[in-house]
A and B are shown apart, each in its own frame.
Chain A
Amino acid sequence: MPHRLLKFALRKQYPEERMFRAPTELRDEYDVVIIGGGGHGLAAAYYLAKDHGITNVAVLEKGYIGSGGTGRNTAIIRSNYLTREGANFYQASVDLFQDLSRELNLNLFYSERGHFTLAHSPASLRTQRWRAEVNKHLGIDSEVVGPEFIKKTVPELDLSCGGHQAPVVGALYHPPGAIARHDAVAWGYARGADQRGVEIHQKTAVTDIEVRDGQVAGVHTDKGFIKTRKVLSAVAGWTTSITERVGLRTPLVIHPLQALVTEPLKPWLHSIVVSASLHTYVSQSSRGELVAGASLDPYELISMRSTLDFAETMSGHLLDLFPFLGDIKILRQWAGLCDMTPDFSPIMGTTPIGGFYIDAGWGTWGFKATPISGKTMAATVCEDHDHPLITAFNLSRFERFELVGEKGAASVGH
């Protein structure tokens, strides 16, 4: 092994192939243009090519792939949601995730850890029980557990929270809860799409969308105009600037969400621990860093700045749960944009504009949905008809007052 590594280092030419091509010129016309090279846009491109044989596709990314929420999230994957529509949808995503490293031939470090949502009050235990019952009914592995079980599984956790917070009285436990290497998900889908003929154009921003007689006719980019009759907007936190271009009103409000990593430690925290009351979720990455995130910033802002406020509050809450972390240093902190919906469910599918499809409303919960949203949006774009798994998430649900209330499961419960 050291010998191979040395040979690798001394090679003049980089011996590995690039993950995907870097086309220089845009074509005049594509069958489908996907705006946004996050996990969702790239997954949709991959499944358009793989499942539907549509390969004259361009993914346009204004920065580099994975530079949005995809490379900024805390990478928690789970399906213990509160509504039937949500739980079925996210379970289908978990099913795809479990086989994804093999399918994409790239190690995504998909790691099942077990996911605890701590309850600090009888009221929150009630919601957990409700979720557990919905989950069990749908065949999802999920149950309410008591303090003894939590203490046995995560002995480092201070159930009394040092007396600074209400003590932990139980938890919703979801054994398949997992984490994965988020940027590898973007690269894997990008490579798979590229190998099938899709073009990925980084540093290419969409500036406007041409609609003629209610039908998409093309997109304007900072590198010129492209003709297309189908556009998929997969830009999460940037969605409102795209929907405004086609005159579509949405309920989306954009808030930053912040996270941090600590210096690496020897492995000690196997489980994923979430406390909605403390606005905290934490896991230990395969590199040993603790990855922790908070709740949304308190007001609308379309900017990825991080704050001292966050670092202070987050550290305080981590210490409430794990007091022995007092000497551990924070390595990095950052923010991402979250496109929040009033019911904490996504907005997916067809729109009143012919050929304009939307994949948005991913808020703080969209990483786990990457595979299934790619798959269902590819089918929706191909057939111009909402895939059965996503019909409840169509933008028109707001006009019909048919919300899909996931607040109890999605607000801070990554």
Chain B
Amino acid sequence: MKILNCPINGPRPIQEFHYGGEVRSLPDSATVTDAEWADYVFHRAGEPGVKREWWYHLASGTWFVAERDNRSDEILRTYLYAAEARHE
């Protein structure tokens, strides 16, 4: 069974989680061009490797970030987005 470490609830089976896709920053809607907006809406980082991704713990309603290698499925680190943002 695959285990994911929820920053709030600790190690839980991966069936308790929902995958939310790549972490991306929203372009400024006041200045964004159509092409940049289309790129944001549709295109994704293609290079296989370690990705920052949104994950959601269904049972407790916790969104958090996981760093995961999408070739080996190895999860390197999980943390709350807010906690990390404060340190940046």
**Interface residues, chain A, with chain B CB atoms under 8 Å away:** 239-241, 243-244, 249-254, 298-303, 305, 308-309, 342, 398-401
Contact = CB atoms under 8 A, between A and B. Distances in A.
B73 interface: yes
Interface residues of B, number: 22
A291 B35 CA distance: 44
B47 A244 contact: yes
Contact of B48 (A240, A249, A251, A308): A240
10 contacts: A240-B48, A241-B47, A243-B46, A254-B70, A300-B21, A300-B70, A301-B70, A303-B73, A305-B73, A399-B35
Interface stretch (B23-31, B37-45, B79-87): B37-45
A398 B72 CA distance: 30
B58 to A, nearest CB: 12
A241 B42 contact: no
Interface of B: 1, 15, 18-19, 21, 34-35, 38-39, 41-44, 46-48, 51, 53, 70-73
A244 B46 contact: yes
Contact of A251 (B42, B70, B71, B73): B42
Given A398-B38, A399-B35, A401-B38, A253 B44 contact: yes
Contacts of B70: 254, 300-302
Contacts of B72: 303
B54 to A, nearest CB: 11
A312 to B, nearest CB: 11
A251 B43 contact: yes
Nearest to A248: B46
A250 B38 CA distance: 11
A342 B42 CA distance: 7
Contacts of B38: 398-401
A53 to B, nearest CB: 35
Residue of A243, A254, A300 contacting most chain B CB atoms (<10 Å):
A300
A10 B34 CA distance: 70
Contacts of B35: 399
A297 to B, nearest CB: 10
B3 to A, nearest CB: 13
B47 A398 contact: no
Contact of B71 (A243, A253, A303, A308): A303
B22 to A, nearest CB: 8
A44 B41 CA distance: 32
